[in-house]
Amino acid sequence: MNGHSMLRETLRRLSRNPLAVAGAAVVLFFCVLALFPWLVSSHDPNRIDILKILEPPSGAHPLGTDDLGRDVLARMLHGARISLSVGFVAESIAIGIGLVIGLLAGYYGGKVDSLLMRFVDIMLCFPTFFLILAVIAFIGPSIWNIMFIIGVTGWMGVARLVRAETLSLKERDFVAAARAQGAGTARILFRHILPNTLAPILVAATLGVAGAILVESGLSFLGIGVQPPTPSWGNILTAGKDNIEFAWWLSLFPGLAIFLTVLGYNLLGEGIRDAVDPRLKGR
């Protein structure tokens, strides 16, 4: 179990997959833009100028202006922050819950396991989007609520993955050895089992972030996503769709941004899955 060489091997395999590399590049590109928007645009995303309503792309406004004369590029950049944060935070919540439940179920087994897994089964039966809609409509569409509810309804896959890994890991020699040395349950779980479940979690995480971004755009379409004037890609696209024929720049850019980002995360996730799955090494 040499973590370092395994990581290097994984990265090497990943770098040989052009799709995964492209995906990673897109993901990185938008992350950088979201972190440093001022690199690209100095406009204030909320600066209204009613004399410049719905101007097509130009030198002054490379992506045009919206229906309040705000700079679309600046809104896209700040929207990237919001949309990506929704993705990251929601998925972190999902992974947190999934990890705990998966570890507990896998490690303790027996009644604990079957009880928790029944709960997972129940949650998996719900059309998740229905559940999200209902809760968001009830508790209100603040960014935090949206992140929270996407996370809380999206952990089941992670829980199953972690449980399966834990089940197989806990019988391994190194876990038995740790136990023999008197390591506590918490220590075994977090020092020994957790690190070995990271790869599948990473795959789930990349796909989950993409899913959360899409869910936010869907919620925005229904009017209960991130609320304007705070920009998110979803609500910029939703506002733009009503002018889709006339002011094409309002929907094209956010649409492309969501599309490329989600695609990027998916390709990256698939790439990681292929790269870490040692069983596929042979081919």
Residues that bind another protein (CB under 8 A): 18-19, 46-48, 50, 53-54, 67-69, 118-119, 121-131, 133-135, 137-142, 210, 214, 217-218, 221-224, 227-229, 234, 237-239, 241-247, 251, 255, 258-263, 266-267, 270, 279-280, 282-283
Residue 180 CB, shortest distance to another protein, in Å, is 31
**Between 37 and 264, CB nearer to another protein:** 264
Which amino acid, one-letter code, is at 8?
Answer: R
> Which residue intervals of 222-247 are DSSP H helices?
233-241
Q: What is the DSSP letter of 226?
A: S
CB 1, min distance to another protein, A:
24
Task: Tell me which residue has tokens 């929907």.
Answer: 251
Q: Which two tokens stand for residue 70?
A: 């705000």
Q: Contact, 157 vs 175, CB < 8 A?
A: no
User: How near is the Cβ of 244 to another protein at its closest, in Å?
Assistant: 5
**Cα separation values, 65 from 33, 161, 182, 233, Å:** 19, 45, 65, 15
Smaller CB separation from another protein, 35 or 122 = 122
CA 77, distance to chain mean position in Å, is 18
- Token duo for residue 65: 């202006």
Q: What letter represents residue 71's amino acid?
A: D
Measured from the CB atom, the residue of 189 and 249 that comes closer to another protein is 249
Nearer to another protein, 182 or 282 (CB): 282
Report the residue number, 8 or 241, with the smaller CB distance to another protein: 241
Q: Which residue lies nearer to another protein by CB, 100 or 133?
A: 133
Distance in Å from the first CA to the final CA of the chain = 23
> Which residue's CB is nearer to another protein, number 179 or number 227?
227
d(CA 16, CA 206): 19
Nearest distance from residue 103's CB to another protein, in Å?
22
Q: How far is the CB of 218 from another protein (least distance, A)?
A: 5
Farthest CA pair distance, the chain: 75
Helices 72-108, 156-169: axis angle to 10 degrees equals 40
Q: How far is the CB of 112 from another protein (least distance, A)?
A: 16
CB of 175 to another protein, least distance (A): 25
CA dihedral of 77, 79, 80, 85, whole degrees rounded to 10: 140
